[in-house]
Structure 1
């Protein structure tokens, strides 16, 4: 039999009384309840709330409760195994203060106090109001993408304006200081200005050490960024408590992932991924945040007018360092190896480390440029090793730079076909040297032109590098004499010749 609620019981009593017209005594007997319950059901279909009586007084214990609470609060700082028990509290009350209270009464009250001490404090979240252009929040979030077919975890930098809720998101392969600074510069350019204050957690890119309260020892590069633009920084408390102080951007990271990165996107490069993220940011201009009447884009129009103007010069987020080239013509930067021209082995070179690019300089001359890699990567350019391979052609077949060029698509199927044909006709050594001579042409001619030159040479059955160069130059120049239709020649007006200058010359010679 299903248990009925009191409301259902009242309904049955009222229906029986209305249809059967039976007495209160009969209804009490039929439904098995007291007659006062029947009368209450006939008065109202909703049962009256249960009356709660006043708390029972403890005349003997009430005077000692503040003292008991004081002892138990002091216990919070005492060793765990040397704290008051209920019996010990009773013994002290009786022995030291002559209290006339029962042990069970004291022990029951001690349990009540201890339960209140163990109960977690409930934090009440107070809603915040932000004036346009006043504040923003910054954070990193982890996202997954299929990068070149491989499931890869990357970091997403998020900069959120607090008033309008408009965000800027950009993906990076790491969370280095250059990435942190580059994200600010790009966000400010995206918004066309910057807010007066920005909230952060204690990122290593900005904070060296967290001191007492809100004080922080900040990194020099972050201080330089803040000084360049002139905004203020606000650092949240360490740990989970600090996350609630910038809940807007914390929630934005998860919301953006769920809305724009489900299902997991497939991209071929970080550039393609960032174009996808930017499109998502612009699409969010049409959304309406809860409890607001206007869209994010409409609120941003108001906030943009209140943002601080950008300085004339843009902040450079990159850093400069000096590195020695190893015997494999590489420089090691942040645990990543990058190739440089082989002629610079064992030299010390300046390296400009950016968020996306690594630039290597020999004095003022740029000698190498690579996309920034992840820790443990080896990023090699085949062009940097061509002079060495020309001397050691046997090393090219299994050379790591060649493998990197194949994976990146720089060494195309046309290159493979030309090399195989040259090796088949001239042998491995001379065929490889021929291939290297063609690869050197990439330094002077566009890649498409060189590929066209190889294709044209193979079409006529030639593997002569000079034929490839001739066809490549022709493709690069693409010069065709204009065709002038017959009958369209224009008459050129020229003045009649004069001999006056010659007459003067004759006069001077007489």
Structure 2
């Protein structure tokens, strides 16, 4: 095939009166080729259509398509590879062609399946997208990696984040509740990734967790789950997750109480709200007001974000959560079923009647943890005061009180433990031990003095000065006789 410059050269020579044989001598082109181009009257460009050549694989292509369609119903890690297709064609259908033909065809099939155009989506005010990211934080001075829930509003591009230890249903519901209450309403539609802890989409069926189903019924919003491995369906929140990691969590944040940090985190969206929308060139805060108008009203009652389970305690009266995190209940609960309340940040240990015995900070992560509240061992220590010296409760007791109780005979030690138990049930362990420490400084511990001090500690504070009270001068002036004195 000649280039267009060669064709034009031939035409120019013909226009100058050269014969075909002379043109052939000058250009080296075949006379038949010269005649073809001189007689051609249309040189319009044609689409470069690739003509497929017949292949040994042609009779087997419908079979390959059946296998690939069946793959869509199963886990992606169990899909057919080109090698497996090649082996099955040989074993089951007598294919005699080469592996390279199968490999090229499989590559073409996958490119057709995976290539998708970027479609610009138009969002109305109100709906929000939800996803998790992860970042490092210093919690109480310890570096740890945590998850953060992000809720993004595609219409305004405003968004909010809350930090948690995991991606459980309790964390999702708690984060959503905190954000709903901060913005003063509920998005009518929430779009979730298929891998969040609230549920997932399998084919056309949606499977939600029990807690999230109750939460959704309480707040009346609709929900939509993305198709598996289809992150582009919620691209706005994907970008927001990255944005928040780079802007909210750099440098690495420090906090002691995660709940207080989350409260401060909500207000930090104001900086982003003051920026212009990247496309609409309107302040994000103004656009979010349109989102706010489309929100549903908050329900009159606040949802209790807690999942309750009965867990069997081990020989030490401890329950195991998530297969590796142990929490103390009471020693007398050994080998018994215990009612546990599971929150996003805490674990409650309850009685059969639903009364909270103790609350632990919830542990996350792959490593084993063992969390104890030794105040729950008081009832057992009262019966077996000889175990005081090696008990975990002794380590939690203030130094002065520990030394006092170590020096007491058995009966007096039992009295101290009884007083500690009564005050703990009424005022809490910290207030009880603080009050007993103050009374033992006077040489002896008795329930009356300790109760008064514990009440003051949990009330207006032990070191709070008394109020001056109202002035009585007006009564002195009204009731005392002239020249009298106040007694």
Structure 1, 462-471 or 180-189: larger mean CA deviation: 462-471
Quote the residue 1:368 is aligned against.
Answer: 358
The reply to whether residue 439 of structure 1 matches residue 420 of structure 2 is yes
1:132 to 105, 109, 125: 125
Cα shift at 1:157: 1.2
Q: Does 1:305 align with 2:298?
A: no
* Superimposed CA distance per residue, residues 438-460 of structure 1 (whole angstroms, 9 cap, x where no aligned partner): 63333334677656645644655
Mean Cα displacement is larger for which, 299-308 or 373-382? Answer: 373-382
Change (3 A) 1:417 1:288: farther
Shift of 1:255: 0.9
Change (3 A) 1:388 1:55: same
Contact 1:206 1:218 in 2 (8 A): yes
Distance 2:392 2:432 in 1: 23
Number of positions where the alignment pairs a residue of Structure 1 with one of Structure 2: 397
Residue 276 of structure 2 corresponds to: 288
CA distance in 1, matches of 2:455, 2:118: 71
The 3 A distance-change label for structure 1 pair 306 and 84 is same
Matched residue SS, 2:476: coil
Specify the alignment match of 1:489 in structure 2.
476
| Rg larger in structure | 1
Q: How does 1:409-420 map to 2 (within 5 A)?
A: 411=397, 415-420=398-403
CA distance in 2, matches of 1:348, 1:455: 36
TM-score, structure 2 length as denominator?
0.67
The unaligned stretches of length 5 or more in structure 1 are: 1-52, 89-110, 406-410, 493-510
Q: Which residue of 2 aligns with 1:190?
A: 182
Q: In structure 2, how many angstroms separate the alpha carbons of the residues matched to 1:87 and 1:265?
A: 53
Q: How many Å separate the matches in 1 of 2:161 and 2:180?
A: 12
Q: Distance in 2 between matches of 1:282 and 1:205?
A: 29
Counterpart for residue 151 of structure 1:
143
Separation in structure 2 between the aligned mates of residue 439 and residue 322 of structure 1, nearest angstrom: 29
Question: Which one has more relative contact order, counting CA pairs under 8 Å at least 6 apart?
Answer: 2
User: What is the 5 A alignment of 1:105-504?
Assistant: 123-133=116-126, 135-203=127-195, 205-207=197-199, 210-211=202-203, 214-239=204-229, 242-335=230-323, 336-359=325-348, 360-374=350-364, 376-400=368-392, 405=396, 411=397, 415-423=398-406, 425-426=407-408, 436-437=417-418, 439-440=420-421, 441-445=423-427, 450=432, 453-454=435-436, 456-457=438-439, 460=442, 462-465=443-446, 469=450, 472=453, 475-476=456-457, 488-489=475-476, 491=478
Shift of 1:305: 0.8
Deviation at 1:137, TM superposition (A): 0.7
Aligned to 2:25: none
Gaps of 5+ in 2: 1-42, 65-84, 88-94, 480-487
The offset of 1:177, in angstroms, is: 1.9
Q: How far apart in 1 are the matches of 2:222 and 2:455?
A: 58
Q: Secondary structure at the match of 1:199?
A: strand
- For 1:251 and 1:73, how far apart are their aligned partners in 2? 46
C-alpha displacement of 1:169: 1.4
Instruction: Indicate how the Cα distance of structure 1 residues 464 and 188 shifts in structure 2: closer, same or farther if over 3 A, else same.
Output: closer
Note the alpha carbon deviations across 1:208-238, whole angstroms, 9 max, x for none: 5611xx5434444444443443333222221
